[in-house]
Chains A and B, each alone.
Chain A
Amino acid sequence: MAQIKVEALDKSFGTFHAVKSASFTVEDGQFLCLLGPSGCGKTTTLRMIAGLELPTAGTIRLDGEDVTMNRASARDIAFVFQLFALYPHMNVRRNIGFPLKCEGIGAAERDRRVVEAARILRISHLLDRSVSGLAGGDRQRVALGRAIVRKPKCFLMDEPLGALDTEMREAMIHELRALHDRLGATTVYVTHDQLEAMAMADRIAVMNNGVVEQVASPRDIYDRPASVFVADFIGSPPMNFLPFHGGLQTGAQAIRLGKRDVAIPAAREAMAECELVLGVRPEHVRFTDRGMVRGEVYGTEYLGTTQIVTVTTRYGTLKARSPSSTSFRTGENVGLDFRPDTLSIFDKASGRAIRTALHEGGAHG
């Protein structure tokens, strides 16, 4: 297995700039998710790592070796496609053995390794079946078999669970992660599903409009979003944003929201007077009569153990997560308070998060 280093990768299709100077490193044995909405360039980035697209600029290194312009077959990587790409004219055994056949490995050795891969994936009983009759989950396992049979430098997966139903997807999330750990693999995994990314990844690279917005652990991505986009994309419901006008001194511990002071993590950089945004996760909103923001309950969504309460305030609509035991009436006047140590401040113009004490708790500050 290997380290993957992507530096300043750029890709244009004619006038469409699909990937803009993407940089990140996947350490040996790491599971990295490329996460973002459709059209954000995550698949293009993955395909460039695979060698299925050639970048317009930038470099890709596998274990230090520059493979940017190498043919896909010369990179020693395995790719799992969303639609599995199992060859319909071959049975399961020949599908899994296909990469070995391409390498010219003899039939006996090939069969030994196919059987071994099938055993790992628990599909030994399917080896002589035709792929067209297989269920989605089994097809996915065959596709994985084709990936692991060759012991490649890394696994690249393009939404491999996208075609499965919810139940099968849950099971495969755990299976994939367990497989990754067992093989000590380096994996780059593309998905638009934040739950998948959160559940599986060591690190997540969030992409938007071809730009890598943040590369960090799932916890840091959630607790310390680097931009408004990340804060908005991750979390369901997403972070609440309260726009305000003001400036920040280094070390400032509060901002002025309307006529009240709101405590924030100590600022680590100064901002001149400008439009700023206060970000607060729904679970960090507390209901209290002495709250600094007042509003009117608009509605509630019951989610089992918790409920999402939508409150209209003068700063816009806020969503708060509260235990479902508390009852709210529509139209009820409530006071809201925020947990100070969890708040994020963003520069409205650039969307960038302003550095505060919040960022010091994380591994990637």
Chain B
Amino acid sequence: MTSATTAHSVVEPSATTRRFAGSLVVLYAVITMIPLVWIMLTAFKSPDDAISYPPKVMFKPSLEGFCNLFTTRSRQTPEFIRSLGPPQGLCDSIARSRNMVVAGPSNYVPRFVNSLIIAFGSTVLAVALGTLSAYGFSRFRVPLKDDLLFFILSTRMMPPIAVAIPIYLMYRTVGLSDTRLGMILLYTSVNVSLAVWLLKGFIDEIPREYEEAAMIDGYTRFQAFVKVVLPQATTGIAATAIFCLIFAWNEYAFAVLLTSGNAQTAPPFIPIIIGEGGQDWPAVAAGTTLFLVPIVVFTVLLRKHLLRGITFGAVRK
């Protein structure tokens, strides 16, 4: 017998299959990454490079986009600019080269802070409420349990924007229009149904013996919930939190409709930049690039839980 024969498994994918699958994954990753990479490149282009045709892949990096994002500028005569002292900082000198002076900070930072507060606030609230109600639905005999669960799910069956006008009118009446609290409540109510359903699945899979053992050992039900159930539900909670955060972070339509001067979030603000003094694509791209950072950081921090979380139910332990 020659050494050419090799034992092979019938369930393990062959080397060819593996290579094929691997290249598909890489191809898909590249395709999805291209727009992101392009946005990041644009953020570092000068306005001229950004709109040049054919598009420039190689260019001289510039921070003009970021400067335009963080500042407001006013056009002045060259005489006036010359009468000023030396430029104050990088942005000032870039602005002066365009016959402009920095008039003050832009609204990007407050909008970004609004986004952070509203998105994380509503995520924390939705996950907390979701965990508690999912635990209740999972463990207790709730009257009309199935109907209630279906009702909770049914709130997701229509596009949220369908109720935009009623919510706009209600918010105006009760004074929640253009407030952070109003937006937190709104995103929480949209997300809580997702949170209940996702988390119920996770909590259902935690054997109730764990809590019962803890209760017999001397804990109250709430202590058992906190000390025994929560640690085992971290995977589910992390996955749910990411889904909730992504929704609240990216939400555009309600933010446009319900917020303006006070509680406006970053998504409706970023497109507004276009209008200020020509189509300032590098500034928009810079705003978008920075806007991606929190989600990326949050996802990377929780990625260990995420993979198991997203495939939950598919593979049982």
B212 neighbours in A (Cβ, 8 Å): 50, 52, 72, 79, 81, 85
Q: Which of B195-229 contact A (CB under 8 A)?
A: 207, 209-210, 212-220, 228
Segment among A96-104, A271-279, A306-314 that sits at the interface with chain B: A96-104
Tell me if B231 counts as interface (CB < 8 A to partner A).
yes
Task: Give the CA-CA distance A186 to B186 in the complex, in Å.
Answer: 56
A: number of interface residues (CB 8 Å): 24
Known contacts A88-B232, A89-B232; decide if A98 and B217 are in contact (CB<8 Å). Answer: yes
Task: Please determine whether B218 and A73 come into contact, CB atoms closer than 8 angstroms.
Answer: yes
A83 touches which of B209, B216, B217, B220 (Cβ 8 Å) = B209
On whether A51 and B231 interact (CB within 8 A), knowing A85-B207, A85-B209, the answer reads: no
**What chain B residues lie within 8 Å of A77 (beta carbons)?**
216
Query: Digit string of A22-58 for contact with B (CB within 8 Å is 1, else 0)?
Result: 0000000000000000000000000000111000000
* Tally of contact residues, B, Cβ under 8 A: 15
Q: Are B216 and A79 in contact (CB under 8 A)?
A: yes
Whether B218 and A103, one on each chain, are in contact in the complex, defined by CB atoms closer than 8 angstroms, is yes
Distance A82 CA – B220 CA, assembled complex (angstroms): 22
Chain A residue, CB-CB nearest to B213: A85
Chain B residues with Cβ below 8 Å from A88 are 232
Is the CB–CB distance between B219 and A73 below 8 Å?
A: yes
In the bound complex, how far is the Cα of B292 from the Cα of A342, in angstroms?
A: 84
Name the distance in Å between A96's Cβ and chain B's nearest Cβ. Answer: 11
Contact B216 A98 (CB under 8 A): no
Contact call B214/A102, Cβ cutoff below 8 A? yes
Q: How many A-B residue pairs have CB under 8 A?
A: 54
In the complex, chain B residues whose CB is within 8 Å of the CB of A203? none
Complex Cα gap A75–B212 (Å): 13
When chains A and B are docked, how far (Å) is the Cα of A211 from the Cα of B313? 38
User: In the complex, what residue of chain B is closest to A158 when comparing beta carbons?
Assistant: B209
B-facing residues in A85-116 (Cβ within 8 Å): 85, 87-89, 98-99, 102-103
B61 to chain A, nearest CB (A): 48
Answer yes or no: A78 CB below 8 A from chain B CBs.
yes
Q: A50-B216, A51-B216, A73-B215 are contacts. A81–B231 as well, Cβ < 8 Å?
A: no
The answer to whether A359 has its CB under 8 Å from any CB of chain B is no
CA A52 – CA B216 in complex, angstroms?
8
> Most chain-A Cβ atoms within 10 A of its Cβ — which of B217, B220, B228, B232?
B217
A232 to B231, CA, bound (A): 47
In the complex the two chains form, is A87's CB within 8 Å of B215's CB?
no
Tell me if A146 counts as interface (CB < 8 A to partner B). Answer: yes
Alpha-carbon distance A170/B209, docked complex (angstroms):
25
For A98, give its contact among B214, B231, B232 (CB under 8 Å).
Answer: B214
Query: Hey, which chain A residues are within 8 Å of B209, CB to CB?
Result: 81-85
Taking CB atoms, residues of chain B closer than 8 Å to A73 are: 215-220
Q: In this complex, what residue of B is CB-closest to A99? A: B217
| Chain B stretch 223-268: residues in CB contact (< 8 A) with chain A | 228, 231-232
A87, B228: Cα distance in complex, Å: 7
Give chain B nearest CB distance to A222 CB in angstroms.
33
How does the 8 Å CB contact mask read for A104-131 relative to B, with 1 for contact and 0 for none? 0000000000000000000000000000
Chain A residues with Cβ below 8 Å from B218 are 73, 99, 102-103
Q: How far is the CB of A12 from chain B (nearest CB, A)?
A: 12
Most buried by A among B207, B210, B212, B218: B218
Q: Which A residue's beta carbon lies closest to that of B209?
A: A85
**CB of A83 to closest CB in B, whole Å:** 6
What is the CA–CA distance of A89 and B207 in the complex, to the nearest angstrom? 14
Quick one: CB contact mask for B132-154 with A, threshold 8 Å, 1 for yes? Answer: 00000000000000000000000
Separation in Å of the A133 CB from the closest CB of chain B? 14
- Within the complex, the shortest CB–CB distance from A82 to chain B, in Å, comes to 8
Give CA–CA (A78, B215) in the complex, Å: 10
Q: A88-B232, A89-B232 are in contact. Are A146 and B210 (CB under 8 A)?
A: no
CB distance from B87 to the nearest CB of A (A): 58
In whole angstroms, what is the CA distance A221 to B232 when docked?
A: 44
Q: How far is A102 from B226 in the complex, measured between Cα atoms in Å?
A: 13
Distance in angstroms between the alpha carbons of A77 and B231 in the assembled complex: 25
CB-CB under 8 A from A71, the residues of chain B are 215, 220
**C-alpha gap A103/B213 in the complex (Å):** 14
- Rounded to whole angstroms, the CA-CA distance of A50 and B231 in the bound complex is 25
Bound CA–CA A71/B214 (angstroms): 12
Within the complex, what minimum Cβ distance (angstroms) separates B207 from chain A? 6
Identify the interface centre among A51, A81, A83: most chain B CB within 10 Å of its CB.
Answer: A81
A:53-78 near B, CB below 8 Å: 71-73, 75, 77-78
Chain A to chain B contacts (Cβ below 8 Å), 21 pairs: A51-B215, A51-B216, A52-B215, A73-B215, A73-B218, A79-B213, A79-B216, A82-B209, A83-B207, A85-B210, A85-B212, A85-B213, A87-B210, A87-B213, A89-B231, A89-B232, A99-B217, A102-B214, A102-B217, A102-B218, A102-B219
B→A interface (CB under 8 Å): 207, 209-210, 212-220, 228, 231-232
Q: A71-B215, A102-B218, A146-B213 are in contact. List 6 more A-B contacts (CB 8 A).
A: A77-B216, A78-B216, A81-B213, A85-B207, A99-B217, A146-B217
The residues of A with any CB-CB pair to B shorter than 8 Å are 50-52, 71-73, 75, 77-79, 81-85, 87-89, 98-99, 102-103, 146, 150
Q: Which 6 residue pairs spanning A and B have beta carbons closest together?
A: A102-B218, A85-B209, A99-B217, A85-B213, A81-B209, A73-B218
